[in-house]
């Protein structure tokens, strides 16, 4: 992959896709092909094939997917399984047809079995029952991994799969119903501070443990894998440490400067008790993360405030 290689980043407006575009541009890649979902519906097989035949990218990053937090996954199972199956099947087959040299498919650590031993090793995939709240997304994503592995075996395609842990950072979805925990807590604490509320509600018991990787670190790892990894096994992307949701909420509360109390709503699902990935394979390839959790939350909150300012200006226009 050289600076002039034509690289198609599917899902460039999403959290991971946006970070990967920033990372590629920072490395001098100036031949990126980008399409919004309005310009190219990846669920439409004919449209995807026509796009690939016309553009003939050399490298593809498949970061487009229907994603969401625990409530969104639990509420829209058909969307999560159908959309993700169609997107991956269309893009992976079209990439093969036009001879794409390298494709990176993005899975997620939430597709490992609910009660797999921790830290999660790549070989634990499919070793037990899935977390019920997101089994629809998980089955689709597992199918995507299997597509890449089958295309490598049958056609010799250099299609690799990465499994990022829970991500956060600029470009995240801050919708309180559909988002993941990090952006939700940042927004809840921020709005509670502005309103002078006495409490912020945290879903679940606060006891589950989660690992958080800043999306710019994830993008750096993805670009590193594109350049250094060409094998069939999947590769976890993470930091190798986790904390409880309660500890996370305390940290966000401090960063945002909300001085009220945290209240835990046990009526909301906890999801899987723990999700810490084993990063031996990735670290063995020579990569390391560089953004610490507190620093990452501070940077994300600054980005959130800049967006709020822009939104505020627009609403006054």
By CB under 6 A, name the one of 121, 193, 268, 281 that touches ligand GFB.
268
Residue 145 found at the interface with ligand GFB (CB under 6 A): no
Out of 180, 190, 214, 274, name the contact with ligand GFB by CB under 6 A.
180
As a whole number of angstroms, the longest Cα–Cα distance in the chain is 61
Distance CA 207, CA 23 (A): 34
Active-site option among 8, 137, 229, 301: 137
- Report the nearest approach of ligand GFB to the CB of residue 3 (Å): 32
How far apart are the C-alpha atoms of 15 and 138, rounded to whole Å? 19
Torsion sign, CA atoms 199, 205, 207, 212? negative
155 is catalytic: no
- The angle at the Cα of 149, spanning 147 to 154, to the nearest 5 degrees, equals 90
Q: Residue 97's closest CA among 55, 38, 34?
A: 55
Binding window for ligand GFB (CB under 6 A); candidates: 40-48, 119-127, 143-151, 176-184: 176-184
Task: Point out the residue whose Cβ comes nearest to ligand GFB.
Answer: 69
Distances (CA, A) of 72 to 133, 178, 181: 9, 5, 12
**Beta carbons within 8 Å of 233's beta carbon, 6+ residues apart:** 122, 281
Q: Which of 81, 184, 225, 276 binds ligand GFB (CB under 6 A)?
A: 184
- Written as six digits, the tokens of 107 are 């899975």
Which listed residue (8, 52, 105, 137) binds ligand GFB by CB under 6 A? 137
Applying CB under 6 A, among 9, 63, 70, 189 the residue interacting with ligand GFB is 70
- What sign for the dihedral angle of Cα 280, 163, 217, 254? negative
Range 191-230, binding ligand GFB (CB under 6 A): 202-204, 208, 210
245 binds ligand GFB (CB under 6 A): yes
* Paired residues of 120 in beta bridges: 277
- Pick the stretch among 24-32, 66-74, 228-236, 306-314 that binds ligand GFB (CB under 6 A): 66-74
Q: Does 84 bind ligand GFB (CB under 6 A)?
A: no
Binding site for ligand GFB (CB under 6 A): 69-70, 73, 108, 110, 134, 137, 166, 179-181, 184, 202-204, 208, 210, 245, 268-271
């Amino acid at each position: 992959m050289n600076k002039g290689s034509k690289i198609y980043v599917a899902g460039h407006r999403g959290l991971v896709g946006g970070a990967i575009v920033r990372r590629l541009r920072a490395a001098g890649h100036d031949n990126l092909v980008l399409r919004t979902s309005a310009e190219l519906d990846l669920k439409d097989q004919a449209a995807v094939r026509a796009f690939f035949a016309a553009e003939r990218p050399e490298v593809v990053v498949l970061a487009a997917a229907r994603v969401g937090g625990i409530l969104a996954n639990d509420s829209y199972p058909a969307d999560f399984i159908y959309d993700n199956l169609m997107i991956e099947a269309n893009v992976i087959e079209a990439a093969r047809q036009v001879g794409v040299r390298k494709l990176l498919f993005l899975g997620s650590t939430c597709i490992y079995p609910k009660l797999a031993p921790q830290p999660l090793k790549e070989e634990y995939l499919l070793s037990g029952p899935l977390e019920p709240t997101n089994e629809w997304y998980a089955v689709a994503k597992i199918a995507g991994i299997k597509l890449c592995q089958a295309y490598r075996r049958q056609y010799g395609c250099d299609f690799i799969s990465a499994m990022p842990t829970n991500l956060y950072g600029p470009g995240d979805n801050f919708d309180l119903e559909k988002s993941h925990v990090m952006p939700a807590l940042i927004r809840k604490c921020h709005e509670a501070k502005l309103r002078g509320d006495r409490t912020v509600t945290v879903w679940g018991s606060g006891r589950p443990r989660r690992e958080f990787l800043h999306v710019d670190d994830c993008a750096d790892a993805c670009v590193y894998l594109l350049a250094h990894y060409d094998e069939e096994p999947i590769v976890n992307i993470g930091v190798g440490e986790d904390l409880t949701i309660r500890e996370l909420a305390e940290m966000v509360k401090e960063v945002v400067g909300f001085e009220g109390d945290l209240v835990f709503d046990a009526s909301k699902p906890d999801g899987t008790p723990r999700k810490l990935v084993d990063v031996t394979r990735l670290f063995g390839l020579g990569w390391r993360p560089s953004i610490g959790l507190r620093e990452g939350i501070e940077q994300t909150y600054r980005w959130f405030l800049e967006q709020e300012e822009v939104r505020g200006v627009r609403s006054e226009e």
